[in-house]
Amino acid sequence: MIEDILKDAEERMKKSIDSMRSEMAKIRTGRASSALIDHLTVDYYGNPTPINQVANVSVQDARTLAVQPWEKNMVPVVERAIMEANLGFNPVTAGDLIRIPMPALTEERRKEMVKVAAGEGENGKIAIRNIRRDANSDFKALLKDKEISEDDEKRAEDRVQQLTDKFVASVDEIVKEKEVEILKV
């Protein structure tokens, strides 16, 4: 029973890390990345549809994204969705290809992005700590129901804490990597 709770906690912590990584990918650095617009949705015949399901999004060069809608009539719709997202991008349309040049980040903007990355890291840590709290309350419930001894509960809580420490360290490492990536000119 203890092993099941520990395994569940570890899986949930891994999912929290994955979620945090995907949020970090949306934070803009100086380089072009398709992850910057992957979360956008466009109006595809009345249905909100992810941009990568109506167009091919690719990195043309280090500072330019290329978006090529599969249908010619979707070009203005996709362009409007990019502009309305308020990401600071000014798409340029050439026929059926939409180019999105990445403006250079100012020092002030880079520092803002570092703060956003640190905030995402803190959210990840909070999620991991909540998982630890849930696991510990499960152990307390087992103890209350007399299914495990106090020693077993203490050992299980120590193991959950070790897991928590490992994943929090992983969050710190991811945030530090993102900071380096943002501040690199």
Domain at 18, CATH number: 1.10.132.20
Residues 93 and 118 in one domain: no
- Please report the pLDDT score of residue 109 as a whole number: 80
Question: Which residue numbers in the chain have pLDDT < 50?
Answer: none
Nearest C-alpha neighbor of 67 from the set 87, 80, 51 = 51
Please give the tally of structural domains in the chain: 2
Taking the C-alpha atoms of residue 31 and residue 63, their distance in angstroms, rounded to an integer, is: 5
User: Which residues 6+ apart lie within 8 Å of 166 measured at CB?
Assistant: none
Residues 178 and 123 grouped into a single domain: yes
Residue 11: per-residue pLDDT: 95
User: Residue 74 maps to which CATH number?
Assistant: 3.30.1360.40
pLDDT tens figures, 33-69: 788 888 888 988 888 889 888 999 888 887 888 999 9
* 116/78 same-domain check: no
**Which structural domain range is residue 55 located in?**
34-101
101, 118, 147 — which closes off a domain?
101
Give the per-residue pLDDT at 18. Answer: 93
- Based on the fold, state whether residues 92 and 122 are members of the same structural domain: no
* pTM exceeding 0.85: no
What is the distance between the alpha carbons of residues 29 and 33, in angstroms, rounded to a whole number?
A: 9
Domain boundary residue, one of 54, 84, 101: 101
Residues 45 and 20 both lie in one domain: no
